[in-house]
Structure 1
Amino acid sequence: MKKRWIFSSIGAVGAGALAYLLRDETKREQMKDKARSLTDKWRGGTPEDMPVDKAGEPELDNLENSKMVSEGSQFGVNYYNELTEKEREILEKSSS
């Protein structure tokens, strides 16, 4: 019985503290940015770090990709388009 009261009181204090912190819009944005950076670290990097952004670039170190694209392969292009569309949807959901 005591455990229930202890957990309830901890939850109530936590909810109150969170409401107090999130009442100001600048603090709310800071919390969102921190949470986003922590999830990016946990996932292993930001979407900008992904090598798919360099797919198909005609560079010396990326000769296989540029050769496949020049031969008409659309796999990399379709994959990049799907990935950017998913990122755009995630950003739209998070900004709403």
Structure 2
Amino acid sequence: MRKRWIFTAVGAVAGGTIAYMMKDEDKRKMAMDKAKSIQANFTSKDDMPIQEAGKPEVSDLENAKMVSEGSQFGVKYYNELTEKEREILERSNS
């Protein structure tokens, strides 16, 4: 029972603080810009080199070194991913 009151109080304080900060238009714009940049960081998929995972010889020295030491995680992941894509294409074509 006490936990519910604590969570309610914390939520109310956080809501009040946010409402107070959003009164000023400059702060509101700064907060919206910050929120958009954080969202862009989470939704960006450009930094995940899926196509390079199965090709350790292509300009990624860290991946090539990892594979040369015996790790096949990147290659296995790439192969599984391309196999799933192939299955999806075959299902959609038939």
Q: State the TM-score, normalizing by the size of structure 1.
A: 0.45
> Which has more radius of gyration?
2
Which structure shows the higher helix fraction? 1
Q: State the TM-score, normalizing by the size of structure 2.
A: 0.46
